[in-house]
Amino acid sequence: MIFLFAVLTLTAGDTKLTVDPERARLSLEHRGAVTAGAHPDGGLLLGTPDRLLPASLVSRGYDLQGRPVFEAATSEGRKARVTVSLTPQQADFLVQPAEPMSVLMRFAPASPGYGLADHAVSKRPTFDTDITGYSNDNFLAGGGITRLVSNFVIYPKNQWAFLVWEPGAKIVRSTETESAQGSRHVESNVRFTVFTGTPREIYRGFLESRNQYGYPVMKPKYEFFGVGWEAFGALAWDTNHKTVAENIDRYLAEGYPLSWMVVGSGFWPRHEARFHETTSFGMYDQNLYPDPAGFIARFKAKGLKYFQGLRTTFVVDGPFTEEGLRQRFFVEENGQPKVFKFDWPKTPTYLLDWTKPGAVAWFTDLARKWTAWGVDGYKEDVFGFKKYELRDDKLDAVNIALMREGRYVMGRNAYLASPADLHRINDFNYNQPQDRGPVNALAYAYSGFPLVYPDIVGGTFGEGHFDLKVTSRMRTYMMRNAMWASLHPSMGMGQAPWTFGDKKLETVMLAAARLHDRLQPFFHSQAVKFFSDGYPWPMTPLPVAFPDDPSVHGRENDRVRGYQWMIGDSLLAAPLYGNDYETATARGIYLPAGSWIEYDSGLRHEGPKLLRDYPIPPEMTPLFAGGTGIVVEKKDGGLVARVYPVSPRADSTFVHPDGQSTSVISVDVADWSKVAVQTTGGKLVPGQWERHAYEFTIRAGENYALRSRH
């Protein structure tokens, strides 16, 4: 094969791309160090899924924008055009094959790698956030565990990340021999992106690209970051206006600070199967929910946001199906509407065609029949589609439209986009491997889905209750599960604590809920910061926060169970959780470099240090303050900044619950025994030491400085 050019080097800022035409070997350097190394056997492969051959670059030129364009060809005559865009933090490769085919791009192996969202816990021999060894040549949502889908993979030690932008079936490999991704079937073009730099730089680039390429990250709303309640976890299918009201009222009477609630199913008319769906828009069962507006209004009067279940599947003879068929708003096959048989509803359904803007507009217009009753938002819940090869973005367009209307969305399906207030992991109950939950949640954070809601506290227990047979194991599970859940961006209650007949359990679960409620404004602030810069502030895995510390890698698995993460720039979560929840009483807790203060006791530690076999009783708040030491909590109807004495100089920006106003809190303190706080205008702000931190009231739009008094 004759090459019309030699090895080519392109640069943009601190990033350099080297293109070797033979077998299209591609490599990237950032700030003088190799990040994504060239694969020796070829960087671009073309062909069919079962026969991919390396292509070489046989010519080059430039397009009208001045971007390099290469012609690639394999030994069997497969051809494609490759357009390269290089910026200081990333390289984009747009591949246009001459005919429909499979396209794969690969680099030298890198490890450890993290990401893959739900796929990180699907069909793997162990539970581990490190995806080294992962290989899947038909990477697609499966409708069970794999519903929130991201093939974004980050190698923080190597300072790069990689993905192919493909909502259809993908090829994803991160093994000891290659880091590769591709599309199984490309008809027009497919894009690959390599991000380089620090994790902060990588996630910012990922955010900007998501927004640019049609996978938007949308701004989350405050209330969903408080303590919630889900009817399915509390009542299973036994929902009606009385049971829901009684359960909510009891929770409030017990002191649970609920801010949102979900009635996910069972509210539709039950006398005919054709209504047994969440797309019986505006229709309630007249016997079970005789006064929908009054029913919803009573909860909103108590300060709760009210949400319902919502799906884009339509029962074939349902009340709105005829209109959808007439306008061809459902997915078709061979020119006819396709009938699906998902796990739920049990009856055959049609699926809304999300690729048609008219269909999406029709659906969101129908959803206004719910909001007319007072519904604030939705728990979207399409599932059970694993036997169909549907594109991964099947819910994105609908959720984007709902979010743009100001509705609240609990996201359960997505591809790369974040058109939701929360990212909810799929159910996992106490009788399933409990290591899946922590690994799944952390995988979300790595993948660009850090608004993690980790399932209902206690779950649904196989859609049953254990009021009649409560065991010690179940009690321990509830306490551990509640404390673990409280440290996530959102927390939802289900099985009632008072049904277990255990005062300690009730005390621990209430304490967990109140802890989360105090931190609601802090969690929401981190969520808005994620929306602004892409970094997973609400739940930052330690390998992302401290990529150069070798001790943080290799701990997030079912062997070590070092399930830890940063919340913002100042709190380290270290809950005791995993499949040994019934018997474990201690964990190894790793503290990175810096000073760390235990949330409950005030005990101080200096890192880097591994606290071996550290006792964590169920009632302990498994949090350490460090980093900037700046935390904001609720108190007495207002907000207080709590500054822990861990750093003499620091600053942090807090976003207030309105999602717009900010307060910058800065620290320059040489003597923590003599602390004064003043606003930007020089006004002194009263403060005092409370629970091991210096505490003072803050207000929206005002900045605060902590200094040593002279």
Position 277 scores a pLDDT of 80
d(CA 496, CA 522): 27
Regarding pTM above 0.95, the answer is yes
Tens-place pLDDT, residues 611-660: 999 999 999 999 999 999 999 999 999 999 999 999 999 999 999 999 99
pLDDT at residue 271 above 60? Answer: yes
Helices (H), 434-491: 436-446, 472-486
- Over the chain, what is the mean pLDDT? 95
What's the half-sphere exposure (Cβ side, CA atoms, 13 Å) at 705? 10
Please give the Cα distance from 288 to 266 (Å, whole number): 9
Radius of gyration of the chain (CA): 26
Q: Which long-range contacts (CB under 8 A, 24 or more apart) does 249-257 make?
A: 250/496, 250/498, 251/493, 251/496, 252/302, 254/497, 254/498, 254/506, 254/510, 255/510, 255/514, 256/227, 256/493, 256/510, 256/513, 257/226, 257/227, 257/513, 257/514, 257/517
Q: State the average pLDDT over residues 418-436.
A: 92
Q: Which residues make Cβ contacts (< 8 Å) with residue 124, sequence separation at least 6?
A: 134
pLDDT (0 to 100) of residue 463 = 43
Band the pLDDT of 709: cuts 50, 70, 90.
confident
pLDDT of 464 reads 52
Quickly state the pLDDT bin for 430 (edges 50, 70, 90): confident
Q: What is the mean pLDDT of residues 387-397?
A: 97
**pLDDT level of residue 3 (50, 70, 90 thresholds):** low
Which residues, 6+ apart, have CB-to-CB distance to 377 below 8 Å?
305, 307, 402, 407, 408, 409, 410, 421
Q: Looking at 267-276, 285-294, 415-424, which range is the least confident one?
A: 267-276
In the numeric block, which tokens belong to residue 671? 């003597």
- How many Å apart are CA 447 and CA 687, to the nearest integer? 40
Q: What is the mean pLDDT of residues 267-279?
A: 84
One-letter amino acid of 297: A
**pLDDT value at residue 465:** 53
Strand pairing report for 422-424 and 452-453? parallel
C-alpha distance across the termini of the chain, in Å: 78
Whole-Å CA distances, 625 to 15, 34, 321, 649: 36, 35, 54, 15
Q: Indicate the range of 140-149, 210-219, 299-308, 603-612 predicted with least confidence.
A: 140-149
Q: H helices of 254-395, where? A: 292-300, 321-326, 357-371
Question: Sheet of 377-380: strands edge to edge?
Answer: 452-453, 422-424, 408-411, 377-380, 305-310, 258-263, 227-230, 491-493
- Of 520, 442, 502, give the one whose Cα is nearest residue 466: 502
Mean pLDDT of 136-147: 93
Over residues 373-393, mean pLDDT:
95
Q: Does the pLDDT of residue 485 top 60, yes or no?
A: yes
Q: Between residues 445 and 144, which one has the greater pLDDT?
A: 445
User: What is the average pLDDT across 653-679?
Assistant: 97
Residue 432 has pLDDT above 90, yes or no: no
What structural domains and CATH numbers belong to the chain?
A: 8-212 (2.60.40), 225-309+370-533 (3.20.20.80), 545-625 (2.60.40.1180), 639-708 (no CATH)
Mean pLDDT of 350-368: 98
Report whether pLDDT(461) > 70: no
- Cα gap 238→259, rounded to integer Å: 22
By DSSP bridging, strand 662-668 and strand 649-655 are antiparallel
**Binning pLDDT at 50, 70 and 90, where does residue 348 land?**
very high
* Interatomic CA distance for residues 110 and 702, integer angstroms: 45
Across 152-166, average pLDDT: 98
Confidence of residue 462 (pLDDT cuts 50, 70, 90): very low
pLDDT tens per residue, range 246-262: 999 999 999 999 999 99
171 CB-near residues (< 8 Å, 6+ apart): 49, 102, 104, 136, 137, 138, 139, 180, 181, 182, 183, 184
Q: Is the pLDDT of residue 368 over 80?
A: yes
Q: Show the beta-strand stretches assigned E in 503-558.
A: 540-541
Q: Looking at the predicted structure, is the pLDDT value of residue 236 above 90? A: no
How confident is the model at residue 274, as a pLDDT?
82
* 439 neighbors 129 (Cβ within 8 angstroms): yes
